[in-house]
């Protein structure tokens, strides 16, 4: 998940520093990527913290930090990937085609911490791009005003998978900033993680595949997700748009390739194109085609075994999103 952290904090505020330290730890442990502007003290501090934790794990910082820098100022740190932004001013609406800043474009979720007038402008860009916005009010600043705007029009503006009660967690008093930082990472993940799981498998009259579909439904339900199989839910009209929407709006995909039908590989290709995590399953003895032969597959013999293995895979995916 690409997390954009916007705003600014007082570098001498111990609570804010403790928050950023815990935030960085949780981000790295869950394998998310930090997006930033590389412009202010908050950008520098969070990048330093992420870099320190990534280095301890022996990993590549460039996989965890990406910053876009305007031409008006030099970058405030040198961690991760630093890319020259094509957008010279976030406050100008004169850019050709009203181009959204790159960090906003790439973000899965935008978290706002304090900030000033520029942060309000960034929040508006996030609204234009229809990105989930999570403004934390614990350190005041622009985030408080942005939260009030979002919560006052929650039913209209909400672009997350959170309900109102969950969203109001952003308005907590700063009693335990470390716990709030942990909660924020989990909240960000739930904001972009749908409860829907798209099922890809053969459309067939064979009762065996109905049993497989039932197993997927049960496994998902027991793990708190809702399995969707397009032939079970499609309304009147074309099925392809239903497939595309189902895959786009799913949290991840379960694909069984035991019976290699054209629809299976078409939908699997769409899922890969949308960069969805895929749980690939196949009955033991299935010969996987060369173009998916390098994908990790879960082979099964009976429905009990299939259900157990699929639930294990779902648990791994869900744990990265704080579920």
CATH assignment of the domain containing 169: 3.40.50.450
Residues 143 and 127 in one domain: yes
What does the CA dihedral 238, 239, 242, 248 come to, rounded to 10 degrees?
A: -120
**Strands 81-84, 133-136: pairing kind:** unpaired
What pLDDT was estimated at residue 71?
74
Range of the domain at 239: 196-319
Contact call for residues 157 and 134 (beta carbons, < 8 A): no
Among 125, 191, 181, 122, CA closest to 158: 191
Residues 34 and 166 in one domain: yes
N residues, the chain: 323
Residue with tokens 């622009």: 142
d(Cα 170, Cα 300) in Å, to the nearest integer?
Answer: 43
Please tell me what DSSP assigns to residue 79.
-
pLDDT of 93 above 90: no
Residues 63 and 138 in one domain: yes
Residues 30 and 127 in one domain: yes
5: Cβ–Cβ under 8 A, 6 or more apart, which residues? 23, 34, 35, 36, 42, 43, 46, 111, 113
79: Cβ–Cβ under 8 A, 6 or more apart, which residues? 47, 48, 50, 51, 61, 65
Please state the rounded mean pLDDT for residues 295-308: 94
- Domain end (from 192, 210, 233): 192
Share of the chain above pLDDT 90, in %: 66
Other C-beta atoms lying within 10 Å of the C-beta of residue 288: 15
Residues 62 and 205 in one domain: no
Q: What is the per-residue pLDDT across 209-245, written as a single tens digit (0 to 9) for each? A: 899 999 999 999 999 899 998 877 665 567 888 899 8
Number of domains, the chain: 2
Residues 264 and 312 in one domain: yes
d(Cα 130, Cα 288) in Å, to the nearest integer?
Answer: 39
The two structure tokens encoding residue 291: 């173009």
Residues 9 and 154 in one domain: yes
Residues 315 and 297 in one domain: yes
Residues 18 and 89 in one domain: yes
The two structure tokens encoding residue 311: 């639930």
What pLDDT was estimated at residue 97?
60
Q: Output the DSSP codes for 164-210.
A: HHHHGGGG--SS-HHHHHHHHHHHHHHHH--SEEEEE----S-HHHH
Residues 209 and 107 in one domain: no
Among 260, 198, 262, CA closest to 231: 198
Predicted model pTM: 0.72
Contact call for residues 92 and 86 (beta carbons, < 8 A): no
- Domain end (from 192, 215, 243): 192
What pLDDT was estimated at residue 294?
82
Q: What is the per-residue pLDDT across 180-201, written as a single tens digit (0 to 9) for each? A: 999 999 899 888 878 899 999 9
- Domain end (from 192, 212, 231): 192
Among 230, 299, 233, 214, CA closest to 264: 230
Q: What is the per-residue pLDDT across 103-154, written as a single tens digit (0 to 9) for each? A: 999 999 999 999 999 999 999 999 998 899 999 999 999 999 999 999 999 9
Largest CA distance in the chain: 67
Which H or E element spans position 300? strand 297-300
d(Cα 99, Cα 287) in Å, to the nearest integer?
Answer: 46
Residues 209 and 159 in one domain: no
pLDDT of 96 above 70: no
Q: At what angle do helices 239-248 and 262-273 cross, to 10 degrees?
A: 40
Contact call for residues 192 and 134 (beta carbons, < 8 A): no
Residues 15 and 93 in one domain: yes
Please state the rounded mean pLDDT for residues 161-167: 89
């Amino acid at each position: 998940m690409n997390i954009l952290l916007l705003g600014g904090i007082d570098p001498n505020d111990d609570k804010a520093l403790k928050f950023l330290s815990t935030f960085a730890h949780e981000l790295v442990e869950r394998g998310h990527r930090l997006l930033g502007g590389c412009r202010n003290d908050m950008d520098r501090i969070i990048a330093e913290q992420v870099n320190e934790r990534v280095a301890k794990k022996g990993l590549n910082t460039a996989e965890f930090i990406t910053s876009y820098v305007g031409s008006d100022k030099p970058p405030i740190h040198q961690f991760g990937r630093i890319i020259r932004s094509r957008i010279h001013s976030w406050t100008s609406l004169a850019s050709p085609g009203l181009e959204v800043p790159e960090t906003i474009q790439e973000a899965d979720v935008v978290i706002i911490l304090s900030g000033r007038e520029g942060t309000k402008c960034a929040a508006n860009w996030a609204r234009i791009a229809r990105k989930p916005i999570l403004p934390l009010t614990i350190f005041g600043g622009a985030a408080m005003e942005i939260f009030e705007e979002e919560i006052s029009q929650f039913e209209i503006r909400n672009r997350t998978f959170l309900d109102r009660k969950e969203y109001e967690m952003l308005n907590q008093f700063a009693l335990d900033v470390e716990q709030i930082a942990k909660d924020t990472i989990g909240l960000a993940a739930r904001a972009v993680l749908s409860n829907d799981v798209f099922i890809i498998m053969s459309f067939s009259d064979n009762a065996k595949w109905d049993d497989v579909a039932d197993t997927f439904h049960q496994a998902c339900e027991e793990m708190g997700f809702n399995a969707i199989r397009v032939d079970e839910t499609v309304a009147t009209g074309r099925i392809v748009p239903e497939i595309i929407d189902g895959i786009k709006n799913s949290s991840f995909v379960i694909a069984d390739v035991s019976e290699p039908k054209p629809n299976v590989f078409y939908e699997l290709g769409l899922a890969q194109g949308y960069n969805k995590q895929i749980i690939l399953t196949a009955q033991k003895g299935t010969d996987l085609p060369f173009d998916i032969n390098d994908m990790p597959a879960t082979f099964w013999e009976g429905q009990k075994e299939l259900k157990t293995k699929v639930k294990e895979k779902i648990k791994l995916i869900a744990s990265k999103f704080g579920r």
